[in-house]
Structure 1
């Protein structure tokens, strides 16, 4: 395996200048705690069912979130260990702890294994069904790491499916049914975020080294088409869910939530066009208008679901 110019093999940096503290800090960063925001999808079904205010509902939801935080971090470690050579060619990913040599590949895999097992064990606290869903999530992510990520179009669906599994896990954890509207909205919203991520990755290449196999196949026009299709469809399905699945005061609040929801989708589209969609979770942490639209949507959802 040939390394990019100026890079070191995994672990060399840690041995040369970093002690235990540097490696530990790097390992924590490699677990990508900021991406735990994605586990907010786990709370979607319990929140929509109105059970987060009950003791059992809150307990089951928190267990599911904790299980997915561990499971997701474990898969990130394995994914970065597998992609270490490609990440060194990427202008931003080369700074990841494993690619930069701060965390040795072997240590990343050991820590990843511990986190995967811990995620399943935590899920068992809420029942074997949740543990099974977590196991299915792990199977999907491993299939993505070693095969699906190299298949054009399939890779988009696979990443979006991970978010759908998270949302389904929340429903399983608290024992509430999942409606077709719910799954469609989550699926389309996830596909929109993934398409925006690939679009930003394609823009970041700027004619340089291809760091992801599918980016050699995708074109800006195709990804723009996927984003436009997903954005339009998720707005329509969200509106139909708000207007057809609810009545009275709840319908009024949920119908009103469609306005900030549309603004949220449009703001995301603008950020992607500006090349800022590669890390969707970072957008929520950095972009103030997106934070405002998201907060307004969530507030109206809470009022519509819990106030009546």
Structure 2
């Protein structure tokens, strides 16, 4: 019974919920960080996204279970290893999706729409887009934009277009970095695990990564200058640049990047950089 419970918890990918922190972006940048009502709504939207994202992970694991069994690491996932049966996973996914929509509806209809769009985007990703070169990573990027929009609609504030662009290009940087890691680690067997990996190569991905990295930094700097109304915010660019270069270093010098969430959590310098950036951004925007 204990093993089954632990397998179900593992299936939820709770460690990946950190991605849903993007929901708090709008309240951080809107001078409302001390507004208890907005904090409550942002947290509610965060919970809704945690449930729907776990639903999506379960759906992906069901679809990819045969391929995962051949993967050196993914073979240990609950469904691929047989610790959780497919019908059990389906029931859990339906419950999570239902709870997510109920929670979203308690905020407003716009949040329900964002959750629905996120689900549709991921269904398309699981069954089609994941095998389409370039579009697969852009689909992931759309998921992060929807997280930010969820936070925006939850509290009723408009999010800067520059922030949305920064979110998109940062997610593309992480996504293409992950593809690069898969191409290198899996080698000639890469296409057996993901069809479109045969269309990627290390040189192409290196060029794409450099382009989206540059765009991320430039767009963030532009936002700091024209989108915040506070000239002091430009200094947070230093933290953003350090964080991105630290990740770049770990990806190219240490062969990491296959799991961005895990890397950000485990690397002390990255973790400190993210936390310090949040503190500085909140301080500048709200004091």
TM-score range, shorter-chain basis?
A: over 0.9
Post-superposition CA distance 1:259-301 (Å, at most 9, x none): 1110101111112223211111101110011112222222221
| 1:50 match: secondary structure | coil
d(CA) in 1 for partners of 2:258, 2:13? 15
Q: Which residue of structure 2 aligns with residue 5 of structure 1? A: none
Quick check: 1:263 aligned with 2:242? Answer: yes
Q: Which residue of structure 2 aligns with residue 193 of structure 1? A: 174
Q: Which residue of structure 1 aligns with residue 14 of structure 2? A: 33
- Of 37, 47, 51 in structure 2, the residue corresponding to residue 66 of structure 1 is 47
- CA drift of 1:231 comes to 0.7
d(CA) in 2 for partners of 1:177, 1:303? 20
Q: Does the 8 Å contact 2:45/2:104 carry over to 1?
A: yes
| 2:79 match: secondary structure | coil
- Of 90, 106, 119 in structure 1, the residue corresponding to residue 87 of structure 2 is 106
Q: Which residue of structure 2 aligns with residue 277 of structure 1? A: 257
Larger radius of gyration: 1
Q: Which residue of structure 1 aligns with residue 5 of structure 2? A: 24
- CA drift of 1:161 comes to 0.7
Structure 1 unaligned spans of 5+? 1-19
- CA drift of 1:80 comes to 0.1
For residues 1-308 of structure 1, the aligned pairs below 5 Å read: 20-208=1-189, 210-247=192-229, 250-252=230-232, 254-273=233-252, 274-307=254-287
Q: Does the 8 Å contact 2:177/2:251 carry over to 1?
A: yes
Q: Does the 8 Å contact 2:32/2:286 carry over to 1?
A: no
Post-superposition CA distance 1:72-101 (Å, at most 9, x none): 001111110110000111111111111111
Range with greater deviation from structure 2 (207-216 or 116-125): 207-216
d(CA) in 1 for partners of 2:58, 2:79? 8
Post-superposition CA distance 1:231-271 (Å, at most 9, x none): 10110110111122234xx321x111111110101111112
d(CA) in 2 for partners of 1:287, 1:97? 26
Q: What RMSD over aligned residues (CA atoms) do the two structures have, in Å?
A: 1.1
- CA drift of 1:51 comes to 1.7
Post-superposition CA distance 1:89-148 (Å, at most 9, x none): 111111111111111111111101110111111111111110111011101111101111
d(CA) in 2 for partners of 1:105, 1:270? 39
d(CA) in 2 for partners of 1:218, 1:268? 21
TM-score by length of 2: 0.96
Equivalenced residue count is 285
Q: Which residue of structure 2 aligns with residue 16 of structure 1? A: none
| 1:257 match: secondary structure | helix
